[in-house]
Structure 1
């Protein structure tokens, strides 16, 4: 499938998705959100894909926010619909995929861009990256899950400070607060993302899917995460990958998951 605002590439078992709007600092508009939804859906359904790497084109921005021109004249009902549709189509959709998404943050990750990174499962950043939620400086708040996921990742106090000041933090500050997993030089960013993806690919895809479902359950209102863990633990016993993994352990060899 061809896209106008993103590019995709498959290398062995890793699928690459790149937001490709460099003149707009890779800002998210409706068309880009739709294309990202389609690309993530296709990668998640592809049996040959085991991990997904998400990044932005160029060296300045991962995603520098939303395309403000698209909603500058919206009213209350329009704003609610924008947030609800965006969360369902992309941000919640990514969080609940069955395959891990690694966000390689190669520059500015602001507003919707940071929300996109936070919806991903693993985040790594280059030293030049700047991260923040500047929405209150525009008279609005983060609407794509930013108030919820930032609090989960960095704690209530840090999230309150970042959101209410509309300030940006450095990659190192993001690492210290737990917002990103790793910080590396920009020319090492994709190599680290690929290294992490390679480790993921060596493990049981079914077990990873179950583990991700169990972890997400802890952050879902009205869901008992421990009960989900028990159920998914049991489900793993009924897979060929469990047989292969345990047999390989007994035979003192590396498992071969298909």
Structure 2
């Protein structure tokens, strides 16, 4: 593996095909939840991938445990009270979304277990998303008292329609990989035992096709997302406004303390 990837500590790399880079999320936290360092690494890796002439396609996965259960809420509670940390986290969230959209290499996600928050963003933003039928997904923002930011407001209505997007983003209900495929939120759902091989098969096929043709096809298709950039920027700003306000703090406190959150009904818009 080239030196460009040596600085990453919580992303692991291998080559299941000579021109395919597989990125495996490897967090010390339960269910591959994202440490502050991992969140930064996932936001930065796409520039290195884009600049690497030795690869033609990418797989991002979470290994045998879970894809990623999202941000570490103990760290995110500190983000609520620290402006500089909040702005850093917001920048990384923006870089993750735009990094995957603008990366010229086709990206395949392979997800099992849980994918929440930044984890589900990385799954859904992949050009081809392959998930285990029994995987579990949730956007989760509303559950901790902040607006759905990240990727969902620009991507989900395009993939599965406004009605389903509103249902799952407003309720923060979880759903399976099989359901995600049924509503069109992912490319395909397979049995868990088939997941890794299927991802390698698809990524290898992409790597062996005409690279410019694939990259320009991705580039033009993603104009659908770029034209929605004002929606994304607004949702991200409102999400991090929420982290600094009473609802975000109460939502995270309640989750960490394993109690029901209590919100004021009179909070102004």
Q: Taking structure 2 as the reference length, what is the TM-score of the superposition? A: 0.76
Equivalent position of 2:223 in the other structure? 217
Unaligned runs of 5+ in 2: 1-5, 230-269
* From 2, 6, 9, the counterpart of 2:11: 6
Alpha-carbon distance in 2 for matches of 1:79, 1:173? 35
* From 184, 188, 195, the counterpart of 1:189: 195
Q: C-alpha displacement at 1:222, in angstroms?
A: 8.2
Relative to 1, partners in 2 of residues 1:37 and 1:163: Cα closer, same or farther, differing over 3 Å?
closer
**Aligned-partner SS, 1:164:** helix
**Aligned-partner SS, 1:9:** strand
Alpha-carbon distance in 2 for matches of 1:188, 1:137? 32
Task: Tell me, yes or no, if structure 1 residue 202 matches structure 2 residue 208.
Answer: yes
Equivalent position of 2:262 in the other structure? none
Relative to 1, partners in 2 of residues 1:84 and 1:39: Cα closer, same or farther, differing over 3 Å?
closer
Equivalent position of 1:57 in the other structure? 63
Task: Tell me, yes or no, if structure 1 residue 28 matches structure 2 residue 34.
Answer: yes
Contact preservation (8 Å) 2:132, 2:178: no
Equivalent position of 1:48 in the other structure? 54
Alpha-carbon distance in 1 for matches of 2:75, 2:86? 14
- Larger CA Rg, structure 1 vs 2: 1
Contact preservation (8 Å) 1:111, 1:133: yes
Alpha-carbon distance in 2 for matches of 1:109, 1:8? 20
Contact preservation (8 Å) 1:112, 1:142: no
Alpha-carbon distance in 1 for matches of 2:225, 2:46? 22
Q: Report Cα offsets for 1:93-127 as digits up to 9, x if no partner.
A: 01210001101011111122111212211101112
Alpha-carbon distance in 2 for matches of 1:24, 1:222? 34
Equivalent position of 1:72 in the other structure? 77
Task: Tell me, yes or no, if structure 1 residue 17 matches structure 2 residue 23.
Answer: yes
Relative to 1, partners in 2 of residues 1:69 and 1:131: Cα closer, same or farther, differing over 3 Å?
same
Alpha-carbon distance in 1 for matches of 2:108, 2:91? 23
**Aligned-partner SS, 2:226:** coil
Contact preservation (8 Å) 1:87, 1:93: no
Equivalent position of 1:90 in the other structure? 96
**Aligned-partner SS, 2:147:** coil
Relative to 1, partners in 2 of residues 1:79 and 1:137: Cα closer, same or farther, differing over 3 Å?
farther
* From 92, 107, 110, the counterpart of 1:104: 110
Equivalent position of 1:174 in the other structure? 180
Q: C-alpha displacement at 1:22, in angstroms?
A: 5.4
Equivalent position of 1:228 in the other structure? none
Contact preservation (8 Å) 1:102, 1:120: yes
Task: Tell me, yes or no, if structure 1 residue 147 matches structure 2 residue 153.
Answer: yes
Contact preservation (8 Å) 2:67, 2:115: yes
Q: C-alpha displacement at 1:9, in angstroms?
A: 1.3
Alpha-carbon distance in 2 for matches of 1:27, 1:207? 36
Q: C-alpha displacement at 1:2, in angstroms?
A: 4.8
Contact preservation (8 Å) 2:12, 2:25: yes
Equivalent position of 1:113 in the other structure? 119
Q: Report Cα offsets for 1:194-238 as digits up to 9, x if no partner.
A: 111121122111111111111111232289xxxxxxxxxxxxxxx
**Aligned-partner SS, 2:175:** strand
Structure 1 runs (4+) greater than 6 angstroms displaced: none
